[in-house]
Structure formats: C-alpha cells, structure tokens
Amino acid sequence: MGHPVRLLVLQALHRVGGEVSCSDLLQLTGVAKPSLSQHLARLQSVGLVHLIRRGRFLFVDLACPEVGEACDKVKNALDRSRHVDVRHNDIQEAQAN
C-alpha cells in the first residue's frame, strides 16, 4: 500500500464491494492503463487482490474485506492529519501577522 495509487485502487474496490472489470476500475480511479496494470500486479503479488481472467476480460477483487476497511482507516487518518496540518499552518501564519 506504499503508493497513493494502490490505496486509491483498494478503496475503489472496497466501495464497489465485489469484483470489477479492469476497464471499470480504470474509469473509477482515473489511473492510466499501464500504471494500473503495474499496481495491480504489485497488489496481487502481496496477496491484497485477486485477478480473475474470463476470456479476454480481467476482473479484480479484494482478497478480503478487511483490506478495504484498513484502507478506509488509513485514508481517514491521512485526511485528518492533512486537515490538522493545514489548521496548524493557518494558526502559525495568523500568529506571525
């Protein structure tokens, strides 16, 4: 999960709540196809997602629901951290003036 795109992919899969085609995942995330392919391969290699081929189509699913829940917690913590950083910077600027 050490890359923002991987976190984005895992969150998108969690929101969908089941398997999704790679073409739909491209639209959901807005990530370029080559980049998505590399990140999916990495996520599969560490066991976070399953890749399922059906004919010409590739589908992706979370390996377990807890992965998506963990991603939500990480994102929420990062969002709170950024919000606190922004407020802290605003306070410092106000005190300097």
Cβ atoms of residues 25 and 9 within 8 Å: yes
Mean pLDDT (the chain) is 82
pLDDT (tens digit, 9 = 90+) per residue, 2-14? 788 888 898 899 8
Q: Give the rounded distance of the alpha carbon of 71 from its chain centre.
A: 7
Percent of the chain with pLDDT over 70: 81
Read off the pTM.
Answer: 0.73
CATH classification at residue 28: 1.10.10.10
Count of domains in the chain?
A: 1
Percent of the chain with pLDDT over 90: 44
Expressed as residue numbers, the domain containing 75 is: 4-96
pLDDT (tens digit, 9 = 90+) per residue, 66-94? 887 887 787 788 777 766 554 444 444 54
CB atoms within 10 A of CB 62: 23
